[in-house]
Amino acid sequence: MNATQPLIDYGGAIHIHSDYSYDCQTPLAEIVAAAQEAGLDFAILTDHFRLDARHDGWERWHGQTLLIVGEEISPRYNHYVALGLREPIVVWKGERNPQGYIDAVARQGGFGFIAHPDHPGALLAQVRRYPWLAWEATGYTGMGIWDLVSDWIGQLRSPLRSGLAYLTPATMLTGPRPETLIRWDQLNQRSHCIGIGEVDNHNTQRRVLGIPVRIFPYRFAFRTIRTHILLEHPFSGETAPDIAKVLGALRQGRCYVAQEFWWPAAGFSFRIFDDHQEATMGETFTIRGPALLEVKAPQRGRIRLIHDGQLRRLEERTGMEVDVKSPGVYRIEVWQKPSLWQGWKPWLYSNPIWVTPGVE
């Protein structure tokens, strides 16, 4: 990678549903319009067990937004966001062994992410849990580390909190679940497990005090959890090559996750380098002498350096520089204060850089 050539940052939304899904009534035209209005560079549609939107001509550039069609393989448990498929994969609703469909995705040349792995459900709102249970499975590319719907549902713990969540949903978002981050760090110390952000929006209609409300309109959802990819070359405007660029960056892990209702995250960078080599998110760096870890954030925040799952440094500023002497898994979190009356909230999560020792 050319250290003098800055990577190009594109932000998009992953894991969304349209009226091609049995549990969503929002027309795809309305969703595309909302994505364009929100300034998304790409959006990845993942209707349940279907790729019909592609066959109907929706997978293409719509103005400045590239719509990509994937699938959510969604039995009762163990939901899987599958990308790069040629044909849909359909399983029985009671299927409990996801290894079969993980392998089926790979046989098509595709890849996938564990969806909302610690989905909490909400008894008060009569929302069932949809967690990932089969942690013995292998072959997945990564997992969702933060998704809008799971975060919001997890706040519905009392009538008062539920009312606040309906009225001010962005204020109630608290970030990835701690158990999700712990598991993600553990997996990354054994292999590479790429983290993505999910929206998982259905624009569901509910009644609150007898009044019909939407949870969530796409115009709101697209302003929250985004996954940013980093490319060496800009989009061409051609559908197939640009889809390949998005999927390639996600598969490699050259991406980060941000909650952007309060502030845009574009421009974030995280790299480790020395006089001869450089690595960014999703890549491996080999220590052969003095090396420097560098973080640049779009604005001031609490920058947290996580090394092998442990907080190693915290600085409140716009950047961070740290000498790298030890191998392990390095990732970055940045937290922000949305307002004077709110506390620090998670804003941005990088994918790791894996540091390995040099050969003596």
CA 243 remoteness from chain centre: 17
Q: Which amino acid is at 139?
A: G
The 10s digit of each residue's pLDDT in 75-97 is: 999 999 999 999 999 999 999 89
Please check the confidence at residue 53 and state whether its pLDDT lies above 60.
yes
Which residues are CB-contacts of 324 (< 8 A; sequence separation ≥ 6)? 272, 285, 287, 291, 292, 293, 330, 355
The 10s digit of each residue's pLDDT in 222-237 is: 999 999 999 999 999 9
Bridge-partner residues for 226, per DSSP?
258
Comparing 243 with 125, the larger pLDDT belongs to 243
Whether the Cβ atoms of residue 120 and residue 91 lie closer than 8 Å to each other: no
Q: Which amino acid is at 204?
A: T
Instruction: Please give the pLDDT value at position 162.
Output: 85
354, 353, 346, 352: which is closest to 177 by C-alpha? 346
pLDDT, averaged across the chain = 94
The 10s digit of each residue's pLDDT in 319-345 is: 999 999 999 999 999 999 988 788 899
What domains lie within the chain, and their CATH numbers?
8-259 (3.20.20.140), 269-357 (2.60.40.10)
At residue 124 the predicted structure's pLDDT band, cuts being 50, 70 and 90, is confident
Cα separation, 242 vs 249, in Å, equals: 11
Cα separation, 64 vs 291, in Å, equals: 39
**CA atoms lying within 13 Å on the CB side of residue 188:** 34
The angle subtended at Cα 343 by Cα 341 and Cα 345, nearest 5°, is 130
Whether the Cβ atoms of residue 51 and residue 21 lie closer than 8 Å to each other: no
The 10s digit of each residue's pLDDT in 194-229 is: 999 999 999 877 665 566 677 889 999 999 999 999
The 10s digit of each residue's pLDDT in 177-190 is: 999 999 999 999 99
